[in-house]
Amino acid sequence: MGDVDYKALYTQRPPPFGEELKAYFALDPEYINLNSGSYGTTPKPVLQAAYELTKKIEANPDLFHRFTYQPMLIDVRKRIARLIGAKTDEVVLVTNASLGLNIVLRNFDWEEGDAIFAFTTTYNSISRTAQSIGDVPPHPTVHTIPLNFPTTHEEIASSFKEFLRAHRVAPNKKRVAIIDSIVSNPGVLLPWQEMVKIAKEERVWSVVDAAHSIGQEVGINLTESAPDFWISNNHKWLSAKRSSAVLYVPGRNQHIVTTSIPTSYAYVSPKDRTEPNFVPQYEWNGTIDWSSHLTVADALDFRTWLGGEAKINAYCHNLALNGGKILAEILDTRVMDPDGDLTLNMINVELPLPPVTTIDEYNRIDVFLKERLLTKYKAYSAHFFHNEKWWTRCSAQVFNTIEDFEKIGRIWVKACEEVKNGLHLKYMSVISIHSAGEIQVQIDENCRRLCYRRANSVSSSPRQTPRPATHAPILALYAQDPTRATRAFTALHRTDPAEAGALLGALFLAGDDSRRVGRFLLQSGGLFAQGDRGMVDVLERAMRWCLGRSQEPRPAYLGFSSV
C-alpha cells in the first residue's frame, strides 16, 4: 500500500483485523512484530498525515508556529480529554511519559521527612527519577514496595495498603506514590483505581504512570477514578506517531505543577498569577516537531475507521490470551496470568531457560537474545527476568495473527536452545569506532568472529606477548609517535572495521593505561568529547567485557533497555 488519500480511504469499509491490516503499516514484511508495546507501530495514514503536516510547516514556518498550530493543538487536547474522561483544561501534551512523570515529581516542594513510594516493578527510568530526587537536599526518603508475579489484584491492593500504613510520616509531611496502571515488565494490569482510592484514604498523593494505558485500556474515566496525576503515551497503543504523551493534572492540583520542563515563556510566578497558568505553559515551551502531537487526531481517525476502541481492544485482548496459550504449549512452559485477570493486550509467557545467578550472566543472555531475534530471526517480543524466571512479553496488535505467535514460539525455542548450549558465551558484539563519535554495535557474525580471534590471540599480561602481525606497525607507531599512529588507526578503521576493533582489543588486553588509549582514540576522531576521561574509562571496561576478560556487569549501552 503506497501513499493514499487517507480521508477518501475512510469512506471505504476497513479490512478485517490480522494479516490484511499489515499493509496499512510500514513494517518490514519479513519482520514479526510482537513488541508494539515498547515503541508503538504507526499506521501509514498517520505517517502520511505527519508528512503532509511537515510540508505545511516548512512552506511557511512563521505562519505555522505563530498562528496555525494552536487551534490544531486545542482540538487534539479536546479529543484526548473526551477519550479519557477529563476536562480539556486538565490535559496537555508532552514528549513522552517519562518527561510527564518528571514534570510532576520535580514540581513537588520536597522537604526533609517526605516520602516517595515506588515498586520493584516501576519502570526503570522512573524509579531512577525517584532515587535522584532522594539523592539531593532535602533528601526525601524513597521506599520500594516489593511486587512479584504471579499474584492477584486483591493481594496487590492489600500489600500496598499495608506498606503505606507501615511507613507513615509526620503530620506536616507528604507522601507520594508512583502507581503503574499497567506494568511494563511484566505487562500486567494493576488495580490502579483501587490503589488510587487507598492512597487517598491514607493521605498519599497518587501519581499514575499510565504509559501503556491509552489505546489499550478501554473505558478510562479520570474524573471518576480521580488520580492526582496521570500520564500516558499516545504512541505506544493509540497508533500516534512517535513520540507523544498526555499529562493529566486536575484543576485541584494544578497549583502543584508550577512550571513545565523546560520552563515556558508563558510561565508566571505563582505569587503573580491572576488566572490559571497550567495550559499556556505547554502551548509553547520551546521549538519542537509538532507533527507527532498534532497527528494524534489522525491516529484517532484511523482507529475510528477500524471500528473504535472497544472493537480494536477486543481483538487484541483475545489474540493475546489465545496466542499466549499457544506460545506456552510450544515452549512447554506456562502463562504468567492463566486466568487473564491481569491481562489486557500483553501476555507474559515463561521462557524455557534456567535462572541466572549473576548480573554478568543476565547481561550476556539479555544482549544475546535481543541481537539473535532481531538480526538472525527477524522477530521480536520483549523478554525480561522476573521472580527467578525468564519471560517473554508479547504485545498483540490489530495486524498480528495467531500465526505470529506460532512463528515466534518456534523462534524462541531455537534461541533458548542456543543459550542452553552456551552460544551466548561465545557470541560477542564488535565495537567499531566512528568519526562521528559514537559507539555502534556491529552484529555481523564474520566480523565478530574475526575480532574475537584476533583480540584473544593477545595475552592479558602487559607487554610480554608479541601482538598479531597485522597490528604491529600501528602499535609500534603508538609507542613512538601517537599522532602518526592515530592517522594509521583511522585509515585502518575505514578499510577494515573488524581489524580496528581487534586492535582496540589488543591495546586493552595488553594493559595500556586507559588515559593513553583515550588520547589515542580522541585524536583519531574518537568516541567521546575531548578530555572526557571518565568516558574513556567506561570504554575500557566495555572492551574488557566484550572480550570476556571482565566479571563486571555489562555496560548499559551495550544493548537496549526494555520499554
| Domain end among 244, 264, 299 | 299
pLDDT tier at 438, thresholds 50, 70, 90: very low
In contact, 321 and 336? CB cutoff 8 Å: no
CB atoms within 10 A of CB 381: 29
Distance in angstroms (rounded) separating the CA atoms of residues 199 and 193: 10
Cell of 69: 498550530
- CA-nearest of 157, 156, 108, 160 to 129 is 108
Lowest mean pLDDT segment, chosen from 8-22, 41-55, 310-324, 527-541: 527-541
205 and 348 assigned to the same domain:
no
401 and 511 assigned to the same domain:
no
Would 170 be classed as within a structural domain?
yes
pLDDT on residue 457 = 40
How many domains are contained in the chain? 3
Cell of 422: 552456551
pLDDT on residue 515 = 42
pLDDT on residue 5 = 75
378 and 451 assigned to the same domain:
no
Residue-range definition of the domain harbouring residue 440: 433-546
251 and 344 assigned to the same domain:
no
Cell of 129: 527519577
The CA–CA distances, whole Å, from 276 to 253, 255, 257, 491 equal 11, 9, 11, 60
Distance in angstroms (rounded) separating the CA atoms of residues 224 and 205: 16
Whether residue 3 is predicted with pLDDT greater than 90 in this model: the reply is no
Return the residue matching grid coordinates 491509552: 214
In contact, 519 and 468? CB cutoff 8 Å: no
Distance in angstroms (rounded) separating the CA atoms of residues 423 and 231: 41
102 and 186 assigned to the same domain:
yes
pLDDT tier at 474, thresholds 50, 70, 90: low
450 and 320 assigned to the same domain:
no
Percentage of the chain exceeding pLDDT 90: 72
419 and 499 assigned to the same domain:
no
| Domain end among 385, 400, 425 | 425
pLDDT tier at 8, thresholds 50, 70, 90: confident
In contact, 56 and 294? CB cutoff 8 Å: no
355 and 504 assigned to the same domain:
no
CA 213 centroid distance within chain: 15
Distance in angstroms (rounded) separating the CA atoms of residues 524 and 511: 20
CB atoms within 10 A of CB 102: 19
Distance in angstroms (rounded) separating the CA atoms of residues 215 and 310: 10
| Domain end among 394, 425, 456 | 425
442 and 413 assigned to the same domain:
no
Q: Provide the H-helix boundaries in 497-560.
A: 497-509, 514-523, 533-546
Lowest mean pLDDT segment, chosen from 16-25, 342-351, 463-472: 463-472
> Taking all residues of the chain, what is their mean pLDDT, rounded to a whole number?
84
Distance in angstroms (rounded) separating the CA atoms of residues 225 and 45: 33
pLDDT on residue 562 = 33
pLDDT digits (tens, 9 = 90+) for 77-109: 999 999 999 999 999 999 999 999 999 999 999
Would 55 be classed as within a structural domain?
no
In contact, 205 and 228? CB cutoff 8 Å: yes
Would 71 be classed as within a structural domain?
yes
Whether residue 208 is predicted with pLDDT greater than 90 in this model: the reply is yes
How is the beta sheet containing 205-209 ordered, strand by strand? 91-94, 245-248, 229-233, 205-209, 175-180, 115-119, 141-145
0.75 exceeded by pTM:
yes
pLDDT on residue 536 = 42
CATH number of the domain encompassing residue 238:
3.40.640.10
339 and 444 assigned to the same domain:
no
519 and 464 assigned to the same domain:
yes
Residue type, 331: L
Cell of 460: 592479558
502 vs 165, which has greater pLDDT? 165
Would 20 be classed as within a structural domain?
no
Residue type, 539: L
pLDDT digits (tens, 9 = 90+) for 159-204: 999 999 999 999 999 999 999 999 999 999 999 999 999 999 999 9
